[in-house]
């Protein structure tokens, strides 16, 4: 007969595994960006909390769906750093968690308003489409572009009676999304190729995909800085100088320097996106 502590340990292990398999880094980052943009857009505290919960639920559903769909592929390439591939969490448990997160996403999104909610559900659907196969095609960038373009529109419209943001905000968001997608897949190109996943980055190759990521991120920086010029000239100017320096490092650096520099540009874009809100 098992000891009383064994059940508690097992539950803790499952919860830890679930937390690790939802892609906690990206989920937290997108949620934090949404909160920052909601604050800059002037939403009330209640609306900010509602937006944050809707975005978090959507990200959890996408993260769990990703690991559920890829579990066999992860085992083939030896990705036993992933809880589902290692067996720390049963597939049934992960499916239940994913389903509950998806139901919560629908309810929380629509609670933000019908139009805003439908836009956010479109963003989440884009993420699911990536998991379900788009990532293995030349259009692998499209779900990221749609989701990052739609997110600021959803947040802006979550305030009752508010207008959609200026056109350059979702456009810059789309560019940021494409750049983020390329950066996200670069470390896993070899594993993906081994299991016949060939998105845009795989077809371009590491070098050209890196260059395209930098181009997209810099273009987003310029667009956001120009759009927000009347509100935050000094901030935009400083960020653009930093972006220019990081772009040089990204294009001419060696080793891990280009990747880290490109991540820095993405973070600068996030700052500009929030400022432009």
Q: What's residue 49's pLDDT? A: 97
Cα separation, 11 vs 216, in Å, equals 43
Domains detected in the chain? 10-140 (1.10.357.140), 166-277 (1.20.120)
pTM of the model: 0.86
C-beta of residue 273 within 8 angstroms of C-beta of residue 173: yes
User: Would you state the pLDDT for residue 225?
Assistant: 84
- What is the torsion angle, in degrees rounded to the nearest 10, for the CA atoms of residue 59, residue 247, residue 39 and residue 20? 30
Q: What is the pLDDT of residues 180-211, one digit of tens each?
A: 899 888 877 877 777 778 899 889 988 898 88
pLDDT grade for 1, boundaries at 50, 70 and 90:
very low
pLDDT value of residue 153:
96
| 47 alpha carbon, distance to own chain's centre | 21
pLDDT for the residue 174 = 95
What are the residue ranges of helices labelled H in 186-232? Answer: 189-194, 200-204, 206-227
Question: What percent of the chain lies above the pLDDT cut of 90?
Answer: 42
Q: Indicate the SS3 state at residue 89.
A: coil
- pLDDT tens for 248-261 read 888 887 767 777 78
Exposure string over 120-157, b if 16+ CB within 10 A, otherwise e? bbebbbbbbbbbeebbbeeebbbbbbbbbbbbbbbbbb
pLDDT class of 2 with cuts at 50, 70, 90: very low
């Amino acid at each position: 007969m098992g000891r009383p502590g064994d059940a508690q340990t097992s539950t803790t292990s499952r919860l830890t595994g679930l937390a690790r398999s939802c892609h906690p880094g990206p989920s937290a980052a997108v949620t934090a960006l949404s909160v920052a943009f909601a604050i800059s857009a002037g939403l009330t505290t209640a609306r900010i909390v509602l937006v944050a919960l809707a975005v978090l639920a959507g990200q959890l559903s996408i993260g769990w769906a990703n690991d559920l769909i890829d579990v066999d592929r992860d085992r083939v390439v030896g990705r036993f750093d992933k809880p589902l591939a290692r067996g720390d969490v049963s597939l049934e448990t992960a499916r239940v968690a994913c389903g509950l997160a998806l139901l919560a996403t629908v309810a929380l999104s629509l609670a933000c308003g019908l139009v805003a909610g439908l836009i956010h559900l479109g963003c989440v659907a884009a993420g699911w489409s990536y998991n379900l196969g788009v990532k293995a095609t030349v259009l692998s960038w499209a779900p990221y572009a749609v989701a990052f373009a739609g997110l600021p529109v959803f947040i802006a419209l979550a305030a009752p009676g508010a207008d959609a943001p200026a056109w350059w905000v979702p456009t810059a968001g789309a560019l940021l999304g494409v750049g983020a997608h390329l950066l996200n897949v670069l470390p896993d190109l070899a594993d993906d190729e081994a299991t016949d996943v060939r998105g845009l980055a795989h077809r371009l190759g590491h070098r050209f995909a890196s260059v395209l990521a930098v181009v997209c991120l810099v273009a987003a920086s310029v667009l956001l800085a120009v759009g927000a010029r009347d509100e935050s000239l000094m901030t935009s100017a400083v960020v653009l100088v930093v972006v220019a320096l990081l772009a040089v490092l990204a294009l001419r650096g060696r080793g891990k320097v280009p990747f880290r520099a490109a991540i820095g540009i993405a973070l600068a874009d996030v700052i500009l996106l929030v400022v432009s809100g």
